[in-house]
Structure formats: structure tokens, C-alpha cells
Amino acid sequence: MLDVSYNNLHDLYGLQYSPLKDLKILNASNNDIVKVDFLEKLKALRELDLSKNRIRQLDNTSFQNFHVITCLRLEDNGLRNLQNVEKLERL
């Protein structure tokens, strides 16, 4: 588990270079993240908490290659719709 909540993060840029390929739980809640990206190397990720950020929409690449996520938290972001969440087949 990696908990980066309450850190005033604007993105998760550094995760694409980290050796966390076996990370299963990521808590990035309560930050200032506006876009779901830089997570493509986290192939084992099962739980992702992005609640209480500033994500307004999910791009078509937001959850590309995330086939094992079973828990996704996005509340309190001001999302306009849940388009592109359907790629997460195990939710």
C-alpha cells in the first residue's frame, strides 16, 4: 500500500518511474489531482482512491490496462459523468 493522501499533489507523475509494479493499493485522496494519468506501470493495482481531488472528467486513457482494479473511489471530485469507467471490468 502507498498512501500519498493530503500532500497537495497536482498529479501522480513520479509513479511512472517508480519500481512499484507490485503495488496493490494506492490512496491519493485529498489532493489537487485533476487528471488520472501516470499510472500505467501499476499493473497489479487493485484499489485506487482518488476521492476529494479536482478530477472533472475521465479520459479514454485514464484506466487503460487496468484489468484488476476491484475498488475505485472517486467521490467529491465534481465528475460530470462516469464515461470510461466501463473499462474496469472487475469493479
Would you kindly state where each structural domain of the chain is located, as residue ranges?
1-91
pLDDT at 56: 95
Residue ranges, the chain, pLDDT below 50:
none
Q: Enter the pTM of the model.
A: 0.92
pLDDT at 17: 85
pLDDT at 67: 76
CA angle 68, 69, 75 (to 5 degrees): 170
Task: Tell me how far apart the alpha carbons of residues 68 and 86 are, in angstroms, rounded to a whole number.
Answer: 13
Q: Are 64 and 43 in contact (CB under 8 A)?
A: no
* Alpha-carbon dihedral angle through residues 32, 82, 38, 4, given to the nearest 10 degrees: 40
| Cα torsion angle, 22, 58, 4, 9, sign | positive
pLDDT at 87: 81
pLDDT in tens, 62-80: 887 777 899 999 999 999 8
Three-state DSSP class for residue 11: coil
Class for the domain spanning 1-91:
alpha beta
pLDDT at 27: 98
